[in-house]
Structures are given as structure tokens and as C-alpha cells.
Amino acid sequence: MTIRVLLADDQALLRATFRILIDTCEDMEVVGEAADGAEAIALAGAHRPDLVLMDIRMPGTDGLTATTAICADPALSGTRVLILTTFEVDEYVAQALRAGASGFLGKDVTAEALLAGIRTVASGESLLSPLATRTLISRFLATPVPSARLATPDRLGVLTAREREIMAMAAEGHSNDEIAEQLYVSPLTVRTHVHRAMTKLDARDRAQLVVMAYQSGLVQAPPPPGPAL
């Protein structure tokens, strides 16, 4: 199956570089290029790509606004957004995840890591770069924007105890293999529970499941570190 990618970046040279890189892969193809967020929204609706490689800082409609629009469109429920930006700071990581992004990478990422990231996000998994640590994610998602709230404590009532347990561990940053080792089950069993939780909560991917875990209070953010003595 070919992964259909839409490029959204205001730098034409960078888009051309990404296109050449992606088109060299037999399992990927670029279906369109957008120079700003508004164009990204329009092209996403026209092409319905599997993944949008989205820059944050663009003239006019920025990448976060475009991500919100794309992820909120029921017709684009199968489209994932991978944020790629030089502005890899706490605020943007949190905003990107709240907007519905499934992944977040800095523009200094290697070609191999970028292609691997596209495959990871297109498969329905979440992807966070090394700087997007579980600590900063939990700290910002624990105090979400009210209008962006995806889950209340009551909504998690549809989950089984095991599904809630695995959802919480995933939100804390554990991989399927790590969860499986701690619970003495197989990674396939963990993946099954994760996907069942996603289905019951209408989460588009693992990243949104993480957002729901913090916003519902299933997982509590650690307190900020105190001043050094």
C-alpha cells in the first residue's frame, strides 16, 4: 500500500527536497504541495492524503490552525498530520497534539528518521521526537484549552479496567513492548487493547488517546520541579 503524502511548507526549496526524498521510496508518493495553511486545508480536502507533512510557521493560516481544521473534518478522518518544524518547543508540542497532530519532529531530523516517522504516523501510531519528552507533554496537556477538551472522566466509562490501565501506561510514554513486559502479556495483546480503547473513544490515533488520558484525569501530570537548593 502506497502512503500518499501532502507537503505543507512555505519554503519551495524545502518542499522540493522532501518531494525528491519521498518519491524515491516505493511505498510513498507526494500527491500535492501547499505553501500555507489555507492551501494545505484545501488540498487535503481535494486529495485526502494518508499524511500531511506540516510546517508550523507559515504566512497567513499557520500550520497549527490548518492541523486543527484537517483533524476536525470528518471527511479526513483517515488523514494523519506529522508536524515538522524548527520551532521544537514545549508550547508547540502541546498545541500540535491538542490540534490533533499524530507526530512532531524537528527539521534537523535525518532523512532516514523522517521516512521512518512518516511510516509510523501513517500506520496509526504516534511519534514524538526526543525533545518532546513525556514530562513536558503531561505538564501542558494537564491544563488543556477548554474548547479543545476531548474527554471527560465519564467518557472513559466505556473502557474495561484493562483498557484504562493500558491507556494510562501509553499516556505515560511506555511503548507496547514495555507495557507488555510490565503486565506479563504479549505486545499483540497490548496493541489490541490500545486499538479497542481508540475505537470506543473515537480517537483517531495513539497520540489523541494520550491527550484524552490527561484531559480526563486518568493520568495526572507530575508537579513541576522545585527550585534547586
State residue 56's pLDDT score.
Answer: 87
- Residue with more model confidence, 89 or 27: 27
| Domain identity same for 36 and 127 | yes
CA distance 85 to 107: 5
Same domain, 69 and 121: yes
Mean pLDDT of the chain: 83
Residues 127 and 175 in one domain: no
The pLDDT tens digits of the residues spanning 80-120 come to 999 887 655 556 667 777 788 888 887 778 899 899 889 98
Same domain, 63 and 89: yes
**Side chain identity at residue 160, one-letter code:** T
| Residue 15 located in a structural domain | yes
Query: Are 153 and 188 in a shared domain?
Result: yes
| 10 lies in the same domain as 120 | yes
pLDDT at residue 205 above 90? no
| The pLDDT of residue 104 | 81
* Distance from C-alpha of 40 to C-alpha of 66, rounded to nearest angstrom: 7
State the pLDDT confidence band at 166, using cuts at 50, 70 and 90.
very high
Least confident range from 2-16, 21-35, 42-56, 101-115: namely: 101-115
Q: What is the number of residues in the chain?
A: 229
- Position with higher pLDDT, 126 vs 197: 197
Residue 213 confidence (pLDDT): 86
pLDDT tops 70 at residue 49: yes
Residue 184 belongs to some domain of the structure: yes
- Average pLDDT on 164-182 reads 88
* Domain's final residue, options 103, 132, 161: 132
Structural domains of the chain, count? 2
How confident is residue 143, by pLDDT bands cut at 50, 70 and 90?
Answer: low
Q: Could you tell me the three cell numbers for 136? A: 513536558
Asked if residue 156 has pLDDT above 60, the reply is yes
In a domain, 95, yes or no: yes
> Mean of the pLDDT values across residues 72-82?
92
pLDDT at 133 over 50: no
| pTM more than 0.85 | no
Q: Does 160 lie in the same domain as 122?
A: no
The domain boundary, picked from 108, 132, 156, lies at 132
Q: Which CATH number fits the domain that encloses residue 193?
A: 1.10.10.10
Q: Containing domain of residue 76, as a range? A: 3-132
Cα distances (Å, whole numbers) of residue 122 to 28, 53, 116, 118, 119 = 10, 11, 10, 6, 5
Q: Is the pLDDT of residue 40 over 90?
A: yes
Q: Is the pLDDT of residue 122 over 70?
A: yes
Residues 68, 118, single domain; the answer is: yes
Predicted pLDDT at 153: 80
pLDDT at 130: 45
Contact status, residue 10 vs residue 33, Cβ threshold 8 Å: no
For the sheet containing 28-34, what is the strand order? Answer: 28-34, 3-8, 51-54, 80-85, 103-106, 127-128
CATH no. for residue 102? 3.40.50.2300
